[in-house]
Amino acid sequence: MKQNENLVLVGSKAVLVPYKAEHVQAYHEWMTSPFLQEMTASEPLTLEEEYDMQRSWHEDDRKCTFIILGSKTGAPLDKPMTMTDIKNKTVMIGDVNIFLNDCDDDLTFGEIEIMIAEEAYRRTGYGLEGLKMMMAYALRELGIKTFHAKISMKNEPSIRLFETKLAYYPVSCSEIFQETTLEWSLQQPSNDDEGYGAKATAQQKQACQALHDSLMDLWTTGIDTLEWE
């Protein structure tokens, strides 16, 4: 997506940067891992195919991708940061994506996914902050109102993260693909509507609205923006 091709988002722990050609080699090495292939339902690609994928995603206005960076020491970021600081003091640890892939071309819907590829950075808050930053960006800048997350049934930590920390709720389960689909939505459908948000209870709707409010506060006060250099 060209909309975020030069956008850098700096949080308290994580930094989101656009997926550039210079990131492809490390990304390719990550995706040789059978564990990551299984968790992300991905097929291994050649390095040349990875470069082609990076170029195509950059051109595709339905795919928004950020590479997640973390401090080399694992400590909170020393803000404010410059691009020189980011390049010298952080390392690639994963990625977060949104696909605008609604079958009826509803551009307020996005499928979100995250991967923390570096094991040392898992379950340390980087995934949660990366997701919050991406959701805040998508809500504020892309006009997203509904997110779906498709997660392997084997990835119980990720399912718990989305449900307990981000107010997602289950809407379907596929035994064939061995994955569960979780939803987060601001939509308020009528009682006979089967659209987005229809399966949410009143309590789940309140939780989504509360998270929305906190994400908008995060966007305003907790995220710095820089231009990629």
Write the pLDDT tens digit of every residue in 102-154: 999 999 999 999 999 999 999 999 999 999 999 999 999 999 999 999 999 99
Residue 229 lies in a domain: no
Residue 103 lies in a domain: yes
Q: What is the pLDDT of residues 24-75, one digit of tens each?
A: 999 999 999 999 998 888 888 999 999 999 999 999 999 999 999 999 998 8
Residue 145 lies in a domain: yes
Alpha helices in the chain (DSSP H): 24-30, 34-40, 47-59, 83-89, 126-137, 156-160, 202-221
The DSSP result for 145-172, as a single string, is: -EEEEEEETT-HHHHHIIIIIS--EEEE
Task: Provide the CATH number for the domain around residue 118.
Answer: 3.40.630.30
Q: State the chain's mean pLDDT as an integer.
A: 95
Residue 173 lies in a domain: yes
* Number of domains comprising the chain: 1
Residue 48 lies in a domain: yes
Q: Which domain holds residue 168?
A: 2-223
Q: How far is Cα of residue 180 from the mean position of the Cα atoms in its chain?
A: 17
Residue 228 lies in a domain: no
The torsion defined by the Cα of 193, 211, 130 and 102, in degrees rounded to 10, comes to 10
Residue 203 lies in a domain: yes
State the pLDDT at residue 194.
80
Residue 148 lies in a domain: yes
